[in-house]
Amino acid sequence: MEFKVETSANVVKPGGHVARITDVIYGDSQYGKTVKFLFAVADEADEPIISGLCSANKLTPQTKLYRWLSALNGGNGLEKGAVIEPDTFIDTMVEILVTNSKKDDTEYSNVAEIVKLSDTPF
């Protein structure tokens, strides 16, 4: 049986970028619940899609998911007891920090941090 490769890994230069959240995917991993954010990198040609993954086991100030949701909340932090639905941030423009890594000789771009809401009106 033959398979045709439909897509390849999207790679963007490491550093800061303006991006639009295109989707939020909920899942499970060997470590528990996860939330994956997909980003269209607006300041790159063809707006490549890259992702960032957060553990969703708990939401405390020490977690990446808390930092990201706080940034999406305008950098104001989150009130105790607040209920937040990450899907509501689809199509939100943000500034992200991208890091690249290699696995099996293939380079990948990952979103390391949502820095803040973007001031750039795309």
- Whether residue 3 lies inside any domain: the answer is no
In a domain, 36, yes or no: yes
Phi-psi domain of 44 (left: phi exceeds 0; alpha: psi -120 through 50; beta: other) = beta
The residue segments making up the domain with residue 33 are 15-117
The predicted model scores a pTM of 0.87
Q: How many domains does the chain have?
A: 1
Per-residue model confidence as pLDDT tens digits over 33-75: 999 999 999 988 888 999 999 999 999 999 999 999 999 999 8
For residue 122, tell me if it sits in a domain. no
Mean pLDDT of the chain: 90
Q: Does residue 5 fall inside a structural domain?
A: no
Give the CATH number for residue 84: 2.40.50
Query: What confidence score (pLDDT) does residue 94 get?
Result: 97
Q: In this predicted structure, what is the pLDDT of residue 62?
A: 93
Nearest to residue 21, comparing CAs of 91, 86, 88?
A: 91
Q: Tell me whether residue 32 is in a domain.
A: yes
Which helix (DSSP H) or strand (DSSP E) does residue 64 occupy? helix 64-72
**CA dihedral (57, 37, 18, 89) positive or negative:** negative
Residue 103: pLDDT band with limits 50, 70, 90 = confident
Please give the pLDDT value at position 104: 84
